[in-house]
Structure 1
Amino acid sequence: MLTNHHQDHCCPGFCDCLFPRCMEVTNHKGNILDLVKCRCGEADSGHRLDWLWQTTDSSDAQINGRDIIFHPTYSQGTAIVRGEKPLKAGKVHFWEMRIITALTGTDVMFGIGTENVNLEQFKFHFVSALGTNAQSWGFSYSGKIQHCGEQLPYGQKFSQGCLVGVYLDRCRGHLEFYLNRRALGVAYTNIPTDPDVLIYPMVCSTAAKSVISLVSSTSQEVTLQLRAFQTLSKQPQKLEELRQMPGLKSILQSYWFLAPPVRYSQRAKENELDLGDEAVLCPSSKLRLGRKQKYTETDGANIDDDLYSNAHKITLRRSLDSGDEEHTTSVHDMCDEYFHYLL
């Protein structure tokens, strides 16, 4: 769980690219994206794009391929944009967005919503639109999540230069958010798995000339291979060993979002958090814990209930026949149960 000290401060950007200052954005008459100077190569990363944003004439958002400029002239309410395709049931979906401008105002949110979300409902009202009712789920730039009008603390506040990722498992009904390619833990476990319920990726903003760019969007079939890699990827200390195995190269590329590369800016490195502090315990028997809890090895009763949520917090151990001495299981032992599925 993030400490209050970390929650009170805005998350540093993902890289040291040059992003436009507020006055530059305000005074610029052309394409705001022209003001961005990429230094890290992320702009040319070539990540997969299975879908882009949907264009509607009535929206107060200008869409150009992967880029959204909310309220290009001035803001008089909340603009909501959704993806052009529904996110199919029975699959896992991941998409990532880069925040180009400083986020200000009532709210800027990232998340999902059903086909019943009225994209123009708050066109003349400044609100936190995603999660106002049962039809949507949202993650605010304030660090809070919202569903059915209930806001809960979740992570750090974030703004310009950050990467926001969304992981949706429509097989299990799980929704999880990433910040600068760090998983923040399962936020909700009540996402409809019914294929008749159409769910779309969504973004909303009340801030004038706020710009969001889609970095990647991928959808994968739920297979035993994916689940096996998903479990193994939650063991950070083993990932480097997995990366050295030639037979896993194509799998790592296909499921890169489960073990994403991290490129922190110099300022972010100075404030780097421990991965363990970001893990949460979210049993499937509850919609979401009212308060995040860390997993400890004494909480063994919960391991089988939700291996996925806690896998990166579980140290795999075994007792030796000669006594009570324990040692951490090697990657080869750990793979006995999963590894052949990956190949």
Structure 2
Amino acid sequence: MMSCQSANWIMTESETYEPDSDSEYQAVSLPISAVMPLVVPVTGESFCQCPTQTEVTYDPSSGAPILDCVCGEEDQTCDWVWDDTCKSSSTYLSCSNRKVSFHSEYSCGTAAIRGTKELADGQHFWEIKMMSPVYGTDMMVGVGTSEVNLDQFRNSFSSLLGIDGDSWGLSYTGVLHHKGSKMRFSPRFGQGSIIGVHLDSWLGTLTFYKNRRCIGVAAHQLQNRRLYPMVCSTAAKSSMKVIRSCSVPTSLQYLCCARLSQLMPPSADTLGVLPLPPGLRKLLRSQLGWVLSLNSSGCGSDSDDEQLEDGDCCSSSDSYGESPGPRVDLLLPLAASEAGSKAVDPLLCPSCLPSYPMVPDYSSAQAEATTSDSDSDSCASDHETCQRKRCRWT
């Protein structure tokens, strides 16, 4: 009975089939909740003005592929690259493992990868360039421990970095994630944006930069944490590239360069402006050029007042707790405190340091010393004055 009905149905359909008819294309109205949201990549946030590239394109005359934008990629040496052994199954590496591509055909989940180097003691800075359109559930830049399972959301769309206490992640939407909590942290970033990350293992701070301008301090109290640089994406045919990765010890040389970068105007070339010997200028440019090229004078000024449980800039007076980081007041000469110069709160984070130089004002101390000497000299004989001055300098 079923076969006869099926045969009659097929014959009826074949008899009434009209290939040019519009009856087979009928508009179907779906509830708003059932319609997929539009996928609109973020634009207008690029580091440069190069035309955006939606996919690999080829020169029609030569047939050769058009190369990616290389703006901001002056530094060709990297202390670490992406780890081919610690990644999701939907990631692919190129450019000497500096460029990672996610979901080459279509996306069915979240892919992630981490760097080859464990970031322990010292100062660590790296920059990630968004090489493709930025869209989808999430594309993130951040850090995490070795406990992070990079393949745990391969079949679901999720903000992987910051889902627990082992990672911190900044979304392209400007939302900061940690321990499952979210906070509005920065403006959005899109294709062509350069996201910088500075991990200060001495102060225990994690700072983000966008197009080489400071966004803000995202976390603190990260001393003794063994962290790796990480990125993740849910977007099909998306890609990111490490254009700079460097690590230096926390030395007096670094502290001086960091302070210089805070004092100089945002557009100033610090090494070009300062009257330095050529050899010293070359040394600083090769080893600490990234410190001097960043401007953090307005760091954190654009972030909202919302705070995460484990780390926003200066969330409390004891933000740094028992941190073994360098106390700013110990960097000041003893003569400054004796002269009564303006002291700097040692509990302030680097982004909240005052705009005035951390150099003591010796003028008042010298003036007082000169006055006292002149007064005492007027009441003493020439022999006593000469003897006192001789003892002072010997």
Same fold (TM over 0.5): yes
CA offset at residue 171 of structure 1?
A: 1.7
CA contact (8 A) 2:83 2:114 kept: yes
132-141 or 234-243, larger mean C-alpha shift: 234-243
> Which of 272, 275, 280 lines up with 1:245 in the alignment?
275
Distance 1:237 1:97 in 2: 24
Number of residue-to-residue matches in the alignment: 281
CA contact (8 A) 2:130 2:190 kept: yes
Please name the residue that 1:85 is paired with.
117
Aligned partner letter, 1:288? D
Distance 2:226 2:345 in 1: 32
CA offset at residue 231 of structure 1?
A: 1.8
Distance 1:290 1:77, change over 3 A: farther
Would you say 1:71 and 2:103 are equivalent positions?
yes
Distance 1:160 1:102 in 2: 5
The C-alpha deviation readout for 1:60-82, integer Å capped at 9, x for no partner, is 10012111110111111000100
Distance 1:69 1:242, change over 3 A: closer
CA offset at residue 153 of structure 1?
A: 1.3
CA offset at residue 279 of structure 1?
A: 3.5
Please name the residue that 2:311 is paired with.
287
Larger Rg: 2
Please name the residue that 1:220 is paired with.
248
Please name the residue that 1:149 is paired with.
180
> Which of 350, 358, 370 lines up with 1:308 in the alignment?
350
Say which structure is richer in strand: 1
239-248 or 47-56, larger mean C-alpha shift: 239-248
Distance 1:241 1:76, change over 3 A: closer
CA contact (8 A) 2:313 2:349 kept: no
Please name the residue that 1:231 is paired with.
259
The C-alpha deviation readout for 1:192-250, integer Å capped at 9, x for no partner, is x22xx531100000000101011011011111211122122111339656533223412
CA contact (8 A) 2:214 2:298 kept: no
CA offset at residue 36 of structure 1?
A: 3.9
Aligned partner letter, 2:312? R
Distance 1:308 1:158, change over 3 A: same
CA offset at residue 306 of structure 1?
A: 1.6
The C-alpha deviation readout for 1:140-196, integer Å capped at 9, x for no partner, is 1001111111111111101001101110011221100110011112110032x22xx
CA offset at residue 257 of structure 1?
A: 2.0
> Which of 188, 207, 220 lines up with 1:189 in the alignment?
220
Distance 1:280 1:15, change over 3 A: closer
> Which of 51, 60, 71 lines up with 2:90 in the alignment?
60
Would you say 1:46 and 2:75 are equivalent positions?
yes
Please name the residue that 2:377 is paired with.
none
Q: Give the TM-score of the pair, scaled to structure 1.
A: 0.71
Distance 1:113 1:224 in 2: 28
Distance 1:70 1:26, change over 3 A: farther
Distance 1:87 1:303, change over 3 A: same
Distance 2:346 2:253 in 1: 19
Aligned partner letter, 1:69? S
Distance 1:199 1:181 in 2: 22
Q: Provide the identity percentage.
A: 33
Distance 2:292 2:350 in 1: 14
Distance 1:280 1:156 in 2: 8
Please name the residue that 1:297 is paired with.
none
Distance 1:12 1:225 in 2: 34
Please name the residue that 1:325 is paired with.
none
Distance 1:159 1:255 in 2: 28
CA contact (8 A) 2:257 2:292 kept: no
CA contact (8 A) 2:128 2:194 kept: yes
Asked which structure has the greater RCO (Cα within 8 Å, sep 6+), the reply is 1
CA contact (8 A) 2:79 2:247 kept: yes
CA contact (8 A) 2:137 2:234 kept: yes
Q: Which runs of 5+ in 1 are unaligned?
A: 1-8, 28-32, 263-273, 292-299, 322-343
CA contact (8 A) 1:26 1:209 kept: no
Distance 1:26 1:104 in 2: 20
CA contact (8 A) 2:131 2:241 kept: yes
CA offset at residue 307 of structure 1?
A: 5.6
Q: Match of 2:49, SS?
A: coil
Distance 1:10 1:275, change over 3 A: farther
The C-alpha deviation readout for 1:9-47, integer Å capped at 9, x for no partner, is 9652111223313xx4599xxxxx94445374x44x233
CA RMSD of aligned residues (A): 3.6
1:142-181 mapped onto 2 (5 Å cutoff): 142-181=173-212
Aligned partner letter, 2:276? P
Aligned partner letter, 2:207? E
Q: Match of 2:216, SS?
A: strand
Q: Match of 2:347, SS?
A: coil
